[in-house]
Amino acid sequence: MARETEIKLAVPDVRAGRRLLRTAGFRVSRRRVFEANTVFDTPRTDLRRACKLLRLREAGVLATLTYKGAPLASRYKSREELETGIADARAMRPILERLGFRPAWRYEKYRTEYKLRRGAGMATLDETPIGVYLELEGSPRWIDRMARVLGFARQDYITASYARLYLEDCQRRGVKPGDLVF
């Protein structure tokens, strides 16, 4: 079973995030790209209620269909992740709709991917409408080591999804949630 294990770390801005990653020895492995994500669910929100996700992502010329299972309770966000590249995101939408899924939520971000010369993990720098985040994905041991190298402690770990962070941000600001778009 393919499993994703990750955390988010809030950073003040893009410049600070880049500086932290560069100082720790990370190098860009995939240049900054705009991502448009559409989360699909049943009309009864069966996936959301089960803490599962079905996402169609368009990132530059790449399109990906992703299923994520319910996360395990942990200080990391760890869950099953199944992904496949697709040739045409626009053609996939009606297929998902014919299967009973509907667009439930959209979110956008700019993402830059980073890697170390050696190592099994990956870091991303995500620019979202609600802030800038580093994501560390790898084994729990690798995540802990890299977070320390970057100057973060375990209490800085964020395991909430961008959807959850967005809803919390809307609640703090007293605004009605919609899509998380620029």
Q: Is pLDDT of 12 > 90? A: yes
SS3 category, 47: helix
Say which CATH architecture domain 3-173 belongs to. Beta Barrel (2.40)
* Predicted model pTM: 0.94
Q: Is pLDDT of 119 > 90? A: no
Calculate the average pLDDT of the chain: 96
Region 38-63: mean pLDDT is: 97
pLDDT, tens digit (0-9, with 9 covering 90-100), for 87-100: 999 999 999 999 99
Q: Which sequence spans correspond to the domains of the chain?
A: 3-173
- Written as one string, the DSSP assignment of 128-177 is ETTEEEEEEES-HHHHHHHHHHTT--GGG-B---HHHHHHHHHHHHT---
Phi/psi-derived region of residue 138, left when phi > 0, alpha when psi is between -120 and 50, beta in every other case: left
Q: How far apart are CA 177 and CA 18, in angstroms?
A: 30
Q: Is pLDDT of 75 > 80? A: yes
pLDDT, tens digit (0-9, with 9 covering 90-100), for 143-152: 999 999 999 9
Share of the chain above pLDDT 90, in %: 97
**CA nearest to 39, candidates 110, 118, 119, 101:** 101
With bands split at pLDDT 50, 70 and 90, how would you rate the model's confidence at 176? very high
